[in-house]
């Protein structure tokens, strides 16, 4: 279940990245930020929380940060969330400038 969850998040993240590349608007960055935030929460809670009581949540394969790739993965997800927020701000500023020029 955990592998399928992360594979689904990876697929949605790739689609969101393609959408941002093709259509760099506030809503695109919002979608990308939402996907990145969900992925960051999934990576962090998958390793730190004991969610064995919930049957729908995957059990951690290795509940430790010592496994290779766990720390870089969580850092990358948090960074992508921050970059999406920066993209939302930049798209908003660009839209305001274009509205001012159109007047």
Report which of 38, 63, 61 is spatially closest to residue 50, judged by C-alpha positions: 63
Residues 90, 86: Cα–Cα separation, whole Å: 6
- What pLDDT, on a 0 to 100 scale, did the predictor assign at position 24? 85
Angle between helical axes of 2-22 and 26-48 (0-180°, round to 10): 160
Report which of 58, 47, 67 is spatially closest to residue 8, judged by C-alpha positions: 58
What are the boundaries of each domain within the chain? 2-102
pTM above 0.75, yes or no: no
Tens-binned pLDDT, residue by residue, of the chain (103 aa): 557 777 887 888 889 888 988 988 889 999 999 988 988 887 777 766 655 555 555 555 555 556 677 778 788 888 888 999 999 999 999 888 888 887 7
- What pLDDT, on a 0 to 100 scale, did the predictor assign at position 99? 83
């Amino acid at each position: 279940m955990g592998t399928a969850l992360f594979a689904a998040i990876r697929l949605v993240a790739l689609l969101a990245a393609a959408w941002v590349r093709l259509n760099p608007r506030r809503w695109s960055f919002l979608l990308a930020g939402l996907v990145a935030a969900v992925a960051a929460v999934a990576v962090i809670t998958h390793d730190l929380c004991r969610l064995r009581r919930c049957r729908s949540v995957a059990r951690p394969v290795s509940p430790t940060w010592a496994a290779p790739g766990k720390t870089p993965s969580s850092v990358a997800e948090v960074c992508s969330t921050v970059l999406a927020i920066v993209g939302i701000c930049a798209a908003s500023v660009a839209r305001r400038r274009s509205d001012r020029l159109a007047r």
